Each structure stands twice: as structure tokens, then as C-alpha cells.
Amino acid sequence: MLQIPPSRVGVEILHDCWFNKGTAFSERERDRLRIRGLLPANIFTIEEQLHRAYISFHRQGQSSLRDKEKGRQENIVAKHLFLNSLHDRNETLFFRLVVEHIEEMGLDLYLMNSLNSIG
């Protein structure tokens, strides 16, 4: 398990994508790290967050009715933006999502890397 340096507390933890666990911080961790009140009161496990992130990933890729009429199947850019944003906010959840669904997300990750190297 990743140890959070004692010098990092409060909002610094939440702004550091390496240490941020989102709503998975336990009550004890929230008190120790002085982040109680900075997160929603509900505590969600990584597994629960993973499930929500997976659903959101698919929602991002859904095409609008207009796109479907034009023959477009999915919105790859929206998926890319979702994964990029998740990576910037919460690396723990990002990598867990990718590891759990690597076959499905492999192409999106490849495209994400390719687009980042271009721009």
C-alpha cells in the first residue's frame, strides 16, 4: 500500500493524483490527513468507484442520435478526454480501471498516447 508522506495534508492530498483515492479514504484516513469535509460524506470503496468509472467511460463513448444517423459508432475523443481527466485526478482509480479492462481499453489508451505525443 502506498504511504502518504506526513507533510501532505488537506487539499494537497486531493490535488495530488498520485495519492488521491477520491471517496475511498476511510474515516480514520480523512481525520489523519485533515480532509474531512473536503470530500462527500459517503465513503465508497475503490471497487465501487471502479464500477462508476467504468459506466462513465461507456457513457462518454456513446454517440448522440445525430451521430448514429451519420453512421458514427462511438465518440473516441470523449473517451480519451474522460480517461485523461481520470488520470489527472486519481491515478489509483485510473490504473485500476485500465488493468481490469485492458482488452477493452487498449485501443483507447493507444490513441490517448498517440494524441498526447502529437500535441
Output the pLDDT for position 62. 74
Which of 10 and 63 is assigned the larger pLDDT?
10
Per-residue pLDDT of 23-78, as tens digits, reads: 999 999 999 999 999 999 999 999 999 999 999 998 887 766 666 566 666 677 78
Q: ∠117-17-32 over CA atoms, to 5°?
A: 170
CA atoms within 13 Å, Cβ hemisphere of 36: 8
Mean pLDDT along residues 86-110: 87
Least confident of 10-14, 44-48, 83-87, 113-117: 113-117
Say yes or no to pLDDT of 119 above 60: no
Q: pTM of this prediction? A: 0.73
Output the pLDDT for position 63. 62
Say yes or no to pLDDT of 21 above 60: yes
Q: Residue 112 is placed in which grid cell? A: 490517448
Q: How many CB atoms lie within 10 A of CB 103?
A: 6
